[in-house]
Chains A and B, each alone.
Chain A
């Protein structure tokens, strides 16, 4: 039996609803992971399930011309998440307040980047909590869902220029809350359109 693409599965699900479970099997972990990082495991369970139910209910409205199924699911998840921005704020605020030694991952992190990130976690949490919800949506879709600028624009249904401006605002907010940012040096290379998203973000290097 041939393996159906996401688009074929969703087309098949219009007449045979059972086909939609194939999309669940493929994308649940990804959507859940994105939501978990924003809201924590309990709300992520609830919202990830709701994302797929909403997608199933709207399956006839999915337009393949407007982007891949994965992006459509991220868009639904982000829309649902807007109801929980207060929960996200509370979670980030709590994280920013908690002392570093309370965070188990700080002691177990082995990779340099993770060590740096965990060390700066409080500032990051404050920055995420302080920035506008729509700027945070863009930043975390790029960082945590690993979407490109164009994919983020598709998922959120906004122009790519808006993605760039929101991301720039989000970066400024991060730098405002992280004094260490002064030690960062801009990367020399200009980002290229075909680079993966991480390489295409505005370059600043954390030394040391």
Chain B
């Protein structure tokens, strides 16, 4: 007999777990299993309850506006202005409207849904997530800014200003990713960026800034209309304007 055999023969070799032990362990596992089976439903219910609180009961209506906004961003018609950033007049203003009428989180949610939807219908400018990442990042930026500075939701200049800044920050992602996806190496992209003269940068930034501010202005105005001129209608449909 070797050490392992010796050890194998030592102790209570034959004892099986008693019924009470099996029963208790099975009950503990069953609790865990039942909890896991309920979890997705519970998580969805909590999310829905949170969304209802945020929209003060108008979840259905805000969700409807959100769906329209998402569809509009996904399928934004081409406006042949040929100027950099002009599409933001549509998508960025819709994100701002969603934040102002729905509250915190809606701009990010719609940005994400729009990005996913645009990818799903193969309308991303370069076929990758980077082509639509600006919706997500701008949505997150809007939510973060208005969370940090709630009074901006009552100030059209601040709301427009942050949209201008956000568009300058995210507007370069799609064109740069276009080059990257097309196979241009990183150093090539860098050389190309570095070769843009000061005048060129001024022009690019100015366009993004102007169209971003324009989008902010449009978004604020639409939300203002919903909350002021159409206050009663807004209340009836459950809108909660942050104005």
Contact = CB atoms under 8 A, between A and B. Distances in A.
8 contacts: A29-B16, A29-B22, A37-B11, A41-B15, A142-B4, A184-B1, A198-B8, A204-B2
B29 A24 contact: yes
B25 interface: yes
Given A143-B4, A174-B3, A197-B4, A20 B29 contact: yes
Nearest to A35: B17
B28 to A, nearest CB: 5
Q: Which 10 A-B residue pairings sit nearest by Cβ, starting from the closest? A: A49-B25, A117-B9, A117-B10, A143-B7, A201-B4, A113-B9, A32-B17, A206-B1, A174-B3, A17-B36
Contact of A201 (B2, B29, B36): B2
B29 A116 contact: no
Nearest to B8: A143
Interface of B: 1-13, 15-18, 21-22, 24-26, 28-30, 32-34, 36-37
A24 B21 CA distance: 13
A204 B5 CA distance: 10
Q: Give the bracket for the number of chain A residues in contact with chain B.
A: 35 or more
Nearest to A123: B6
A114 B33 contact: no
Given A139-B3, A206-B1, 9 more contacts: A20-B29, A24-B25, A53-B29, A53-B32, A56-B32, A114-B9, A139-B7, A187-B2, A205-B2
A170 B4 CA distance: 10
B163 to A, nearest CB: 41
A198 B8 CA distance: 9
A48 B25 contact: yes
Contact of A49 (B7, B8, B15, B28): B28
Nearest to A120: B6
Contact of B33 (A56, A111, A171, A198): A56
A49 B30 CA distance: 11
A32 B25 CA distance: 10
Contact of B29 (A49, A143, A205): A49
Contacts of B24: 45, 49
A106 to B, nearest CB: 11
Interface string A81-125: 000000000000000000000000100000101101110110010
